[in-house]
Amino acid sequence: MKSSPLSVELTPAMRRRLERLAKREGRSLEAQLERVIENGLAAAEAENVRPKRGKRSLAGLLASQRAPTIDELREVRSELSARLVEGASANGRVRR
């Protein structure tokens, strides 16, 4: 595959870190930088991370959704509390 040149400005500290890593892994600085970028992109894609694009309003985001009743919220809270207590007691971390 043909590569495409890219100019990047790094802080001296970042460059030193990349150089140390490249030396330790037996790569050129360019190859190491490409590997770091590739790993970062793969992790972001795996986590489905979306870049921040500034503040967006949440108004109306759930307008078409039914709001839970107070009884439903209480039921969920009770279930979560019970599970937390079960998990804590299984790990020996229950305070009474």
Query: Exposed (0-12), middle (13-18) or buried (19+): which is 34, by Cβ within 10 Å?
Result: middle
Per-residue pLDDT tens digits for 58-89? 677 777 777 778 999 999 999 999 988 888 77
Structure tokens at 68: 């839970």
Q: What is the pLDDT of residues 33-55, one digit of tens each?
A: 999 999 888 888 877 756 566 67
Mark out the alpha helices in the chain (DSSP H runs).
12-25, 29-46, 70-90
pLDDT band at 94 (very low <50, low <70, confident <90, very high): low
pLDDT at position 92 over 80: no
pLDDT at 9: 92
pTM (two decimals): 0.47
Q: Is the dihedral of CA 17, 23, 25, 30 positive or negative?
A: positive
Return the domain boundaries, the chain.
12-46, 68-96
Instruction: List Cβ neighbours of 27 (8 Å cut-off, separation of 6 or more).
Output: 35
